[in-house]
Amino acid sequence: MTTPGTAHGATPGRAAVEESLGRTGGLTSAEVAERVSRGAVNRLTERTSRSVGEIVRANVLTRFNAILGALFVLVMVAGSFADGLFGIVLVVNSAIGIVQEYLAKRKLDRLALLNAPTTRVVRDGEVRVVPTTEVVQDDLVELHTGDEVPADGTLMASTGLELNEANLTGESDPVAHDEGDAIMSGTSVVAGSGRYHASTIGADAYVNRIAADARKFTRTRSEIQDSINTLLTYITWVIAGALPIAIWSQWSTVGDQGWREVVIRSAAGVVGLVPEGLVLLTSVAFLLSAVQLTRRNVLVQQLPAVEGLARVDVVCLDKTGTLTTGDIAFEEARPLDGQDADEIRRALGALADDPNANGTLTAVAAAVASPGWERTQTIPFSSSRKWSAACFSERSTWLLGAPEVLLAADPQPSPPELIGTIREQVAELAGSGRRVVLLARSEEHLAAAMLPADITPVALVTLTEQVRSDAAATLA
């Protein structure tokens, strides 16, 4: 990993930097301005597509254009513009590819501008919300549930902080991070909170270096175009042999009319060997297909991509964001063994009244109002423990977590028939696609992340994935 001192060149006044890193008040406005002036800002000129120059070169510098262009130059040198009309095919064929790819580039560039997240930073002793692109090196970043990590760094403080690192590892399970752990940009907070200093930013950040490799342009392979190029390769050798013969023949026939007439007649004879219509009609067919796909909101970056789509026989797609919105919603709380339904809803509302609520409690908070209980202790959710808890003044301690964990932890088990019934209900609900958590109560005040000695199962809480309204149309 690039160190802060080398990410953007030598860093002057390192002693002052070290002093600022030790403060909890973050950088001062003067320190931020100094870093901005030397370019130590979390900006990235992200190329979402090829440049206009690259697009033009790719569509102009082709074998077909080289053959026909050479013959066109010969005719133009001879001064017969009327006989050089075949050059229009060059312009049209190149223009089709250039225009289509340029329009796709514009759409990609606009899409990149739509994403403008913000980040909480501590500056001059107060928390401020700034655009992520304005985070500077050594900024003290504050993370809460739902935030994205804007830059690489090392945690100074962690309160049950868990990150979703799927963008980096492909694994969606949350990963717990404690004080002193290194965290990477491109991850997001799913539980807890924390603070860290942004040491590696911009293009040097880990996720941006990965993205730079992923954005390396790879031309779409087209069997049709490969076949045409193979044909043109053979035609090139035929023309190389036929052109001298044509010139000799025309010189013998009309040599007395001057060299211009000889060149024009020789070029006209050889041009017929080039399959202009085949190449042009292939480009037109690709273009019409791309237009049809564009009308269906498909972004076609290269014309041959249409051919590749026609050869697809297996489509792989992810669920979240495609079929579901990525959010879960509270469905219901099923009381167990005659428990009071009103008390259950109040307890759920009190548990969800947490500024660092995870996804489950956030879904509960959207459906259940907070009763305003005074919270005295919070045990944040941890993917390793699989439960969270909260203690309230003059009230019971309430726990919410995986049923198998909370039921197995009871040192004085509830009646076996009740445990069996709960397990059956959990299996049935989970089998129907629901997410199931158990709400339990304890009279013990928790001082640490350890399950209490008395756990009473109170209710099964079910949550459901939110299916997108256009999921059926997407699959169709």
Residue at a domain's end among 310, 337, 365: 310
CATH of the domain at 21: 2.70.150.10
Same domain membership, residue 409 and residue 356: yes
Same domain membership, residue 36 and residue 145: yes
Same domain membership, residue 34 and residue 84: no
Let me know if residue 128 belongs to a domain. no
Q: What is the pLDDT of residue 217?
A: 59
Let me know if residue 203 belongs to a domain. yes
280 has a pLDDT exceeding 50? yes
DSSP state of 84: G
Q: What is the pLDDT of residue 146?
A: 81
User: How confident is the model over 109-113, as a mean pLDDT?
Assistant: 52
Per-residue pLDDT reduced to its tens digit, 83-100: 666 777 778 888 888 887
Same domain membership, residue 381 and residue 302: no
Same domain membership, residue 371 and residue 288: no
CA 243, CA 270: separation in Å to the nearest integer?
Answer: 7
Same domain membership, residue 441 and residue 339: yes
CA 5, CA 15: separation in Å to the nearest integer?
Answer: 12
- Least confidently predicted of 215-229, 301-315, 337-351: 215-229
Q: What is the pLDDT of residue 188?
A: 86
- Least confidently predicted of 18-27, 30-39, 369-378: 18-27
Residue at a domain's end among 283, 310, 337: 310
**Three-state SS at 241:** helix
User: How confident is the model over 329-340, as a mean pLDDT?
Assistant: 90
Report residue 132's pLDDT band, with 50, 70 and 90 as the boundaries: confident
112 has a pLDDT exceeding 80? no
Let me know if residue 123 belongs to a domain. no
374 has a pLDDT exceeding 90? yes
* Beta-carbon count within 10 A of 437 CB: 25
Residue at a domain's end among 285, 310, 335: 310
Q: Which of 202, 185, 187 is nearest to 145 (CA)?
A: 187
Let me know if residue 340 belongs to a domain. yes
Q: What is the pLDDT of residue 26?
A: 82
What percentage of the chain reaches a pLDDT higher than 90?
20
447 has a pLDDT exceeding 50? yes
Report residue 254's pLDDT band, with 50, 70 and 90 as the boundaries: low
Q: What is the pLDDT of residue 170?
A: 63
Q: Phi and psi of 444, rounded to 5°?
A: -95, 135
Average pLDDT, the chain: 80
Catalytic residue annotation: 318
Report residue 347's pLDDT band, with 50, 70 and 90 as the boundaries: very high
64 has a pLDDT exceeding 70? yes
261 has a pLDDT exceeding 90? no
Cβ-count burial of 176 within 10 angstroms (0-12 exposed, 13-18 middle, 19+ buried)? middle
Q: What is the pLDDT of residue 412?
A: 56
Same domain membership, residue 33 and residue 67: no
Same domain membership, residue 292 and residue 398: no
CATH of the domain at 430: 3.40.1110.10
Same domain membership, residue 450 and residue 333: yes
Q: How many domains does the chain have?
A: 3
350 has a pLDDT exceeding 90? yes
CA 207, CA 132: separation in Å to the nearest integer?
Answer: 14
- Residues forming beta bridges with residue 198, ordered by sequence position: 153
User: How confident is the model over 433-451, as a mean pLDDT?
Assistant: 90
Let me know if residue 475 belongs to a domain. no
- Of residues 274 and 365, the one with the higher pLDDT is 365
Per-residue pLDDT reduced to its tens digit, 155-173: 998 888 888 887 777 666 6
Highest mean pLDDT pick, 80-89, 240-249, 280-289: 280-289
Q: What is the pLDDT of residue 175?
A: 84
Structural domain that includes position 342: 324-467
Q: What is the pLDDT of residue 113?
A: 42
464 has a pLDDT exceeding 50? yes
Q: What is the pLDDT of residue 153?
A: 93
User: How confident is the model over 318-332, as a mean pLDDT?
Assistant: 79
Let me know if residue 348 belongs to a domain. yes
Report long-range pairs for 81-89 (Cβ below 8 Å, ≥24 apart).
Answer: 83/264, 83/267, 83/268, 86/271, 86/276, 89/276, 89/279, 89/280
Same domain membership, residue 380 and residue 299: no
Let me know if residue 53 belongs to a domain. no
249 has a pLDDT exceeding 80? no
- Residues forming beta bridges with residue 163, ordered by sequence position: 175, 189
Per-residue pLDDT reduced to its tens digit, 182-235: 999 888 888 888 999 999 888 888 877 776 665 555 666 778 878 888 888 888
80 has a pLDDT exceeding 90? no
Same domain membership, residue 364 and residue 294: no
User: How confident is the model over 92-121, as a mean pLDDT?
Assistant: 72
Same domain membership, residue 401 and residue 384: yes
Q: What is the pLDDT of residue 259?
A: 72
Q: What is the pLDDT of residue 8?
A: 38
Task: Give per-residue burial for 276-289: e unless 16+ CB within 10 Å, then b.
Answer: beebbebbeebbeb
Report residue 116's pLDDT band, with 50, 70 and 90 as the boundaries: very low
Let me know if residue 476 belongs to a domain. no
Report residue 278's pLDDT band, with 50, 70 and 90 as the boundaries: confident
81 has a pLDDT exceeding 70? no
